[in-house]
Structure 1
C-alpha cells in the first residue's frame, strides 16, 4: 500500500515536472548513444578482424627475399621468440576476364599452415590442380565453383578450375595500386594456388617470401634485427603484421572511431553530469515540503530516500537502455558495412564494459545526486521542512561599489545584475553547459571541414597533374619516356616500398617516391606553407611520417639498397601532406646510392586531348585522372563524414536540451518573483527582459568560452585520428559563425517558449505560501 502510494506520487511528480525529467532523460540518452554507438564501430571491426586473423593463422611478420635457402629458414626458426616459419610465393597476375582485372597470387606449399584462406564455399585441395578464389571478386564477375579461370604468370597463361571461394586476412582492405584509392573487387582480388602450379610457368617451384609466427610476448624488433643479419644483402624487406597494407588500413579505421568514441562522449558526459546534477538538486529541493509531509505521515527514512533516489535511477536506466539501442543501431549497424572492409563476419559487438561504466556514471549523475540531495534534508524535522526555506541573506554585488556605473543603470538592469550574481552557481552551470555543447558542435564542424579540405589540399595544391599513368617498368625506362614527346607537361616517378632502419634500431617498410628534382606537377610545402624543393643530397619526409617513426629534420636513417647493404641518408626537408605519407628523393640522389631509376608511373598535364594511342599501348598498366582520385578519396571518407554529421546533429540536440532545461529552471525558480512584479504593475515585456536577457548573457558567454574548447578538441582529434593523415584541425570563421548562430537561434526559440509560459503564470498559485 505504501509502495503503491509512493509510486503514484512519483508519476504525479514526473507529470508535473515533465520538462525537467524529459530533458534529463534525453541528455542521458544522447550521452550513452554517442559512446556506445562510436564504441560499437571500432569494437566490432577489432573483434571480427582479430577473429579472422586467428582463424587464418596470420603471420606476425613477412620477410621478402628471392628463393630463401633451407639454412636461412632453419636459422630464423631458431631465433628466440619464433615458433614457426614457412616460405611462399606472391605476385600480381593478369586474368582473361572482361576488363582485365588483376589478381594477387598466393602460392602455398601443400603442408602450409600460415596465412591460410578462410573458406566460404568449396575446398582447397592438396592436389594443386585447382584454385581458391576471392569470394567478393567471384561474386562481381559471376564466377562459380567449377568454372575455369586463366592467370598469366611469367608470360605464360595457366588455366585452372575454381575449387572454392574464400576470404583472406591480408586482403581485408586491399587496393590494386597507387592509382586506386579504395578497394574495388571488380578490378582487384586474390587467388590461392599450390606452389606446384608455379612449375608450369617458371619450370620449378620458386619462393619470394617467408612467413614468421612468433610467441605473443616476442620482441619483434629483436626478431627483425636477427632476420636482417641472417638474410644479409639478399634481403628485400621485412614487414610486420601491423605494418602490412591491409592490417594497417583496418587499424586506421579502428583508430579513427576509437578516437571519436573517447573524445566526444567525454564532453557529452561532462555537460550531462553538470546539468543533471543541478536539475536533480533543484527538483529535490522543490520537494522539501513533500518530504516533510511524508516524514510527518510516518514514512521511514529508508522509504523516502529510495523514493527520491528512484527518480534519478529510473531516468538513468531508461536513458542508458534507449541510448544503447539508438547508438548501436545508428552507428554500428549502419557504419560498419560501409567501411569497405572484407570481413568474414559483420556481427555487431558491443563493448559492454564501457557501456556499464557509462551507465554507472549516468546513474551517479541522476540517482546518486537525488540520494545526496534528499539525504541532506533528512536531518530536518517535519516542522522545519513544512516551512518555506529561508531566503539567503542579501549581499551587495561588486557593481554597487562603483557609484558612477551603478547610478546610471535602470531599475530592470539592476534587478538582472543582482539576480545573476545571486545565482552564480546556476549561471556557471548554464555557461558550462552551453560551452560544452558549443565545443562539441564546433569540433565536429571543424573535423568535417578538415576532412573535406584534404582532397583540395592534396589534389588541388600538391598534385597538379591531369592524369597518373602506371607503367610496366620492364618495358619502359627514362629514355623511352623522354623520347615519346607527349603533348603536355610530364614528370616521371618511381614508387615502391623501401626497407629502413630507424635510429632506435626498429625495422620499417615505408613507401618511397623517386622523381626528378625539377618537379613541375608535385609541389611540396613545409608545415608553414612555404614551398620547398627535394634536396640534392638527402631525403624529404612528410611530417606525419616523421612523427610516427619518431624522427625529425636533421636525423639520419638507414635504407636498404638492392642486393647491397644499408646506407645512411639524412632527413633534410620535412613537408606537410594531408595524406599520402612517405619519403621523397631525387633521381640523382637515388643513383648516387648505387641504384637505378626505373619509372613506374608518369604524371602528365595534357595541353590538349590525351594521347589515346599511348594510353592503350602495352606499356601502360593502369591510369587514373586526378578528378577520379579526388572523388575516390572523398568517397573513402564518407563513413567518417557520416559519423561527424551525426555528432553535429546530436551536439545541436544536446545544446537545445541544455538551453531548454536551464531556461525552464530559471523561470520556475523565479516564478514567485515574476508574479510579484506582475502584481506591482510591470508589463509582460518588462518581465520577459528580466529573465530572457540573463539567458542570452549565459548563452553568449558560453559561446565565447566554447570556441577555445572546440579548438582544443578538434586539435586532439586531428592529431590522433589516423596515422596516415596529417590533419591540422584549424578552426575557421564560417564554422564559428554556424556554431554561434545555431546556439543563439536555439536560445531565441527557447526564450520565445519561456515568454509564452510567463503569460500563463497563475499569480494566486505562485504567491501563496505555507505558513
Structure 2
C-alpha cells in the first residue's frame, strides 16, 4: 500500500512538472535522433547500393585488352576456384551530326552478370532491335524509333528499332557516363545490342565475379582488401598474355600478309601472261591491217569492220590490264604499309577496372565517406550538449526535492524506496526519448538523405536497418545523463539526516562582485541591474551551465551554416586562385615532334584559344609500407616562368612561391598524408614503374586532386629523360557547352589528341556533388535550432523553479509583472550574449574539426564561414530567446505567491 501510494506520487510529480518532463524527453529525442540518424546514414547508403548491385549482379572486375579477349585469356584463369567468367563486346561510336558519343555493349540472355534494369519496353530479341540508356530519353528518342549506328566494320546491321530503355549497374550515376577518345570526348549514353550482331573475331572485355567477395558489402574495407588480393591474382595469371597476344596478332597478320603476297605474286604472273597475250594480239592486228590494204575494195569494208571490233576488244583488255596493274600496285603498297604496321605494332595493354572505376561509384563512396566524417563529429557534439543539459535538469530536480526526501526518510522509507521514484522518472523520460529518437532517427534521416540525393543515382530504394552500435551508445549516454545524475545526487542527499534535509538549503552568502569595485560604472546602474549582476556572479554554476548550453547550440548552428559555406567554396578556392586555365589537351602517346608542332600551329590559329603552354603530365605513385599507395599527377611545364600564370603556387597564408631547378613542389594533402616536409627526399614511381628520388622544395595549397610539380630541367635531371610534350594547358575565351564539344571534337579529329578536359565540367561536377551535402547541412541546422530552443526553454524553466520564492517575494514587495519578467530576462539576455559570442568560437573550431575529418586524399575543404552564417546563427538564438522570454512572462504572471512563500512551512 505504501509503495502504491509512493508510485502515485511519482506520476503526480510528472504531471506537476510536465514542462520539465517533456523538455527532458525532447532533448533526449533530438540528441538520439541526430546521433543515431546520421551515424546510421552511411551504413544505410552503402547497404542500399550493395543490395542494388547484388540484385543486378555487377561484376567485381573487368579486364579490357587493347588487343581483344581470346579463349586463351579465359583458359589462363580456368584454375581459379570460385571465379565466374563472362565475355562481351563494347566499342565507342560517334555521331557527328548529333554531336553524340555512344558506348555500345553486347547483350546475351545467357549472361549472369551486369543485368539491365528495364525502365520501359523490353530487352532486344531480334537482330534489328536495340535498347538504350535512360539518358537517351532526354535526347528525344522513343520506343519504336529507328536508330542508326553506321559501324559496318563492327556490326552486321546499321538500322535498329528501339524496343526499350534501361539502366545498367555499370553506371550508377544519372548525370554522367564517362569519357571516350572519339567525338567530343564525353559519352552521351549507352546502348545494348544482341551479341550475335557483332562482327569482330575477338571480344573486348572479360567480366569477372568472385565467390569469395559475395559475403562482403561493396564499400566495406574487407571487400576492398579481398578485391585487391583477387585483382593481384588475376594480373599475375594474365601477366604473360600481353606479349603472347601481341605475338598472336603479329603471327595472324604475317599469315594474312603472306597470303596477300602470294595473291599478288600470282596476280603479277597472270598479268605478265596477259600482257604477253595482249602484245601478240596487237602484233596480229598490225599484220591484219597490212593485209587489208591488199584486199579488193569489195572485201575491204567487211574486213575493216571486223578489225574495228577487234580493236575495241583489245582496248577493253588493255583497260582491264591497267586496272589489274593498279590493283597490284595498291596491294603492294598495302603490303608495305601492313609490314610497317606489324613492325611498329604497340605493346598490348590489359586494363583492370574494378567496381570503383565505374562511373558514379567513386563519387557516391566519397559522398558517403563525407557524411560519415560529419557523423563522427557534429552529432557527437550535439549529443554531448543534449546529455549535459539532461544531466543538469535531473540534478536540479533532485536537489529541489530534498525536503520531500527528508520527509520520506523521517517516515521510515528506505533509501532504495526513496530512490525508486527518481529511477522510474529517469527511466521513463529516457525510455520515451530514446525509443522515439531511435525509431525516428533510423527510419527518417537516412531515408530523407537518400531520397534527396537519389536523383543523381540509378538506385531508388533505401534499405534501412537498425545499427546497434550508435543505438547502444545513445542508450548508455542518456541513462548516465538521467538515471546516473539522479543517483549521483541522491547518494549525496541520502547521506544526510532527515532533520538536515527538512531544512531549506542555506543560500550562498552575498559578497561584493568585481563590478562593484568599478565605481563609475556601478554607480550608474539601476537597482534592478545591480541585483541581476549580483545574482549572475553569485550563482556561477548556473551561469556557466546556461552559457555552455547556449554556446553549444549557437556553435552547432554556426557549424551547420559554416559547413554549407565551406563545402560550396571548394571550386571557388581551387579554380582561379590556384588553377588558372580553362582546360587540358592530352596528346596521343609518343607523338612525333612534327605532330606536336602541328598542334602548336592549330592552337595558335584557333579563335577560342587565347594562350597555351606545352606540358608533360603523367600519373606517379608514392608507396610506403605503413601507408596506402597514393596516385598523384606529375606536371612538368615546358617553361617554368610562363607556368606561373597557369598555376599559382601558394604556401599556407597565401604566400606565393615558384618552381625551382633544385627540387619539386607537392600539394598539401599528400604532404600531410605522408608527413612530408620541405627539404625531405621522396621516392616516387613513374608511369613505367621506374623509381625516382626527388627533393621537396615546397608544399603548395590545393583543394581538388593531388599534384607534383617540377621544372623541366629538374625533371630531366632526376629521370635521365628528355622533356617530351604530351599535353597542353590552355586559356580561352568563355565557351558554351556546345562550343566546348565542337572544340574537343575538332581536336580529336586531328588523330593526335586523346582527350580534352575542360575546367568548367570539373566545376559543374564538383558543385553538383556538393549540392547533395546541402540537404544534410540543412537537417543539421534545423535540428540544432530545435535543440537551442528546447535548451533555452529548459534552462529558463529551471531558473524559475529554483527561484520561485525569490520571485514571489519581489512580487509581494510591489514589483510589476514586467519588472519581475525583466528580473529573469535580464539575466537571460546576458547569458545569451555571452553564449552567442562563445558559440561563434565553438562553431568555428567545430567546423574546422569536421572539415579536417571530411577531407580526403584528393580533396581538402577550406574553412569558409561567411558573415551571413554568424548572422543566422546569432539571430536564431536571439529569436529563440525572445520566444522563451514571452513564454516566461506569461508563466511569471501566474505564479501563486502565497503557495510559493509558504512552501517551506
TM-score (norm 1): 0.79
| Structure ranking higher in helix proportion | 2
Cα gap change, 1:394/1:508 in structure 2, threshold over 3 Å: closer, same or farther? closer
User: After superposition, what is the alpha-carbon deviation per residue over 1:290-330, rounded to whole angstroms, capped at 9, x for unaligned?
Assistant: 55666778877666544433323333233234334544565
Which structure has the bigger radius of gyration? 2
SS in 2 for 1:342: coil
Q: CA deviation at 1:711?
A: 2.3
Question: Structure 1: how far apart are the matches of 2:682 and 2:775?
Answer: 41
Equivalent residue in structure 2 for 1:762, among 874, 882, 896: 896
> In the alignment, what sits opposite 1:358?
474
Relative distance call for 1:41 and 1:100 in structure 2 (3 A) is farther
Q: 1:697 to 1:25 in 2, by over 3 A?
A: same
Equivalent of 2:399 in 285, 292, 307: 285
Change (3 A) 1:77 1:379: farther
**Number of the residue aligned with 2:365:** 251
Q: CA distance change for structure 1 residues 524 and 241 in 2, over 3 Å: closer, same or farther?
A: farther
Alignment pair present for 1:577 and 2:736: no
1:737-752 superposed matches below 5 A: 737-752=871-886
Matching residue of 2:648: 524
2:302 corresponding residue in structure 1: none
601, 607, 630: which is aligned to 1:486?
A: 607
Measure the CA separation in 2 of the matches of 1:3 and 1:526. 74
Q: 1:182-197, aligned counterparts within 5 Å?
A: 188-191=188-191
Residue of 704, 708, 711 corresponding to 2:844: 711
2:14 paired residue number: 14
1:350-408 deviations in Å (ceiling 9; x for gaps): 424423432443343234434554565556677765x3433256375675997989996
8 A Cα contact 2:504 2:904, kept in partner: no
| C-alpha distance in 2 between matches for 1:72 and 1:667 | 81
1:30, CA displacement in angstroms?
A: 1.5
Q: Secondary structure at the match of 1:637?
A: helix
Q: Tell me how large the CA RMSD over aligned residues is.
A: 5.2
Point out where structure 2 has 5 or more consecutive residues left out of the alignment: 181-185, 214-221, 243-346, 750-754
Select between 315-324 and 232-241 the one with higher mean Cα deviation: 232-241
Q: Using the alignment, how far apart are the partners of 2:117 and 2:88 within structure 1?
A: 20
CA distance in structure 2 between the partners assigned to 1:238 and 1:699 by the alignment: 59
Specify the alignment match of 1:544 in structure 2: 669
Partner Cα separation in structure 1 for residue 677 and residue 122 of structure 2 = 50
- Quick check: 1:725 aligned with 2:841? no
Task: Note the 1:532-611 alignment, pairs <5 A.
Answer: 541-547=666-672, 555-561=681-687, 566=690, 568=692, 570=694, 574-582=699-707, 593=721, 597-599=725-727, 603-605=731-733
Residues 493, 513 of structure 1: 8 Å contact kept: no
Question: Greater CA deviation, 207-216 or 632-641?
Answer: 207-216
1:155-208 Cα offsets, whole Å, 9 max, x none, are 7566567788765444223734579xxxxxx9644456687765x2xx431547
For 2:509, the equivalent position in structure 1 comes to 394
CA contact 1:128–1:196 (8 Å) conserved in 2: no
**Which has the higher mean CA deviation after the structures are superposed, 62-71 or 8-17?**
62-71
Distance 1:713 1:495 in 2: 41
From 217, 223, 228, the equivalent of 1:220 is: 228
Equivalent runs, 1:415-426 vs 2, <5 Å: 415-416=531-532, 418-426=534-542
Tell me, in whole angstroms, the C-alpha distance in 2 between the residues paired with 1:337 and 1:568: 48
SS in 2 for 1:93: strand
1:136 aligns with 2:134: yes
Distance 2:166 2:619 in 1: 30
Question: Does the aligned pair in 2 maintain the 1:560–1:567 contact within 8 Å?
Answer: yes
Cα distance change of structure 1 residues 487 and 132 upon mapping to structure 2, 3 Å threshold: closer
Deviation larger for 730-739 or 697-706: 730-739
CA deviation digits over 1:595-643, x for unaligned, max 9? Answer: 8645588652259999799649654699998777645543332221121
Please name the residue that 1:274 is paired with.
Answer: 388
Structure 1 equivalent of residue 36 of structure 2: 36
Q: How does 1:26-425 map to 2 (within 5 A)?
A: 26-54=26-54, 66-67=66-67, 84=83, 93-94=92-93, 99-105=98-104, 116-117=114-115, 119-120=117-118, 136-137=134-135, 140=138, 150-151=148-149, 156=154, 159=158, 167-173=167-173, 175-177=176-178, 188-191=188-191, 200=199, 203-207=200-204, 213=210, 218=226, 220=228, 224=232, 227=235, 230=239, 242=356, 246-291=360-405, 305-328=419-442, 331-339=445-453, 340-343=456-459, 345-374=461-490, 387-392=502-507, 394=509, 396=511, 399=514, 415-416=531-532, 418-425=534-541
Structure-2 residue corresponding to 1:182: none
Q: Distance in 2 between matches of 1:463 and 1:117?
A: 41
CA shift for structure 1 position 277: 1.3
Would the aligned equivalents of 2:64 and 2:204 in 1 still touch at CA under 8 Å? no
- After TM superposition, the structure 1 stretch with the greater mean CA deviation from structure 2, 247-256 or 308-317, is 308-317
Which one is further off, 203-212 or 279-288? 203-212
Give me the whole-angstrom Cα distance separating, in 2, the residues matched to 1:594 and 1:132. 50
Pairwise CA distance, 1:123: 9.2
- Which deviations, in whole Å up to 9, do the C-alpha atoms of 1:250-285 show, x marking residues without a partner? 221111111222211111211111111111222233
* Distance in 2 separating the partners of 1:480 and 1:557: 38
Shift of 1:727: 0.9
Q: Which 10-residue stretch deviates more, 611-620 or 315-324? A: 611-620
Change (3 A) 1:100 1:371: farther
**Structure 1 residues without counterparts, runs of 5 or longer:** 180-185
Alpha-carbon distance in 2 for matches of 1:455, 1:612 = 20
Aligned counterpart in structure 2 of residue 449 of structure 1, from 565, 576, 583: 565
Q: CA deviation at 1:658?
A: 1.2
* Partners of 1:56 and 1:367 in 2: CA distance: 49
Report the equivalent of 2:619: 498
Report the secondary structure of 2:504's partner residue: coil
How far 1:453 moved relative to its partner? Answer: 1.9
Q: Secondary structure at the match of 2:903?
A: coil
2:134 is paired with a residue whose SS is helix
CA distance in 1, matches of 2:760, 2:644: 18
Q: Is the 8 A contact 1:442 1:711 kept in 2?
A: yes
Residue 654 (structure 1) aligned to one of 787, 790, 795 = 787
Relative distance call for 1:744 and 1:50 in structure 2 (3 A) is: same
Between the aligned partners of 1:117 and 1:493, the Cα distance in structure 2 is 44
Structure-2 change in CA distance of 1:769 and 1:4 (3 Å): closer
Number of matched residues? Answer: 755
Q: Which deviates further from its counterpart, 90-99 or 757-766?
A: 90-99
CA–CA distance in structure 1, aligned partners of residues 380 and 450 of structure 2: 23
Structure 2 counterpart SS, 1:461: coil
| Alpha-carbon distance in structure 2 between the residues aligned to 1:401 and 1:94 | 85
Deviations 1:725-749 (A, max 9, x none): 2112255555345433433443344
User: How far did 1:27 drift?
Assistant: 1.4
Report the secondary structure of 2:619's partner residue.
strand
- Name the stretch that deviates more: 333-342 or 438-447: 333-342
1:440 Cα deviation from its structure 2 partner: 0.9
Kindly report which structure 2 residues correspond to 1:468-487, keeping only aligned pairs within 5 A, or say none: 478-479=599-600, 481-486=602-607
Partner in structure 1 of residue 273 of structure 2: none
